[in-house]
Amino acid sequence: MVLKFLRCCCTAKQHGDDEDKIKFGGGNVHVVTSKEDWDQKVSEANKDGKIVVANFSATWCGPCRVISPLYAEMSQTYPQFMFLTIDVDELMDFSSSWDIRATPTFFFLKNGKQVDKLVGANKPELEKKVAALAGAGAGA
């Protein structure tokens, strides 16, 4: 039921004032601006042994605004991860290649391969997934 609500609210671009938009970034979050930027960041993460957390988001999305501060905070708490944000409106073709159907959608990549995914602004689940991957990464 919640997922249907998220899809309803966050799959069609809504127009509003600029103050309604969230500011991407903050903390140690890198805002991806192109496919080349993405490739460079994922390559850097792989070289450094970091897990990538990729947040496909939109500036006008209410649930994205809600989870954005937690995402920025987590980027500081977990320096062993690389936190990326992709604006689905700015990088439409790239986002489509990831089959994004709702925002926010989080992908977790290790060595360039998807190891997990979360659709929606579920704070406890995002924290749980990152903490679990942090624990798994410590033993690797």
Count, in order, helices (H) and strands (E) of the chain. Answer: 5, 5
Structure tokens at 3: 């997922």
Cα maximum dimension of the chain: 47
Structure tokens at 51: 């897990």
Examine the residue annotation and report whether 61 is marked as an active-site residue of this protein. yes
The Cβ of residue 119 has, within 10 Å, a number of other Cβ atoms equal to 18
Examine the residue annotation and report whether 8 is marked as an active-site residue of this protein. no
Q: Could you tell me where the DSSP H helices lie in 83-122?
A: 92-97
Catalytic residues: 61, 64
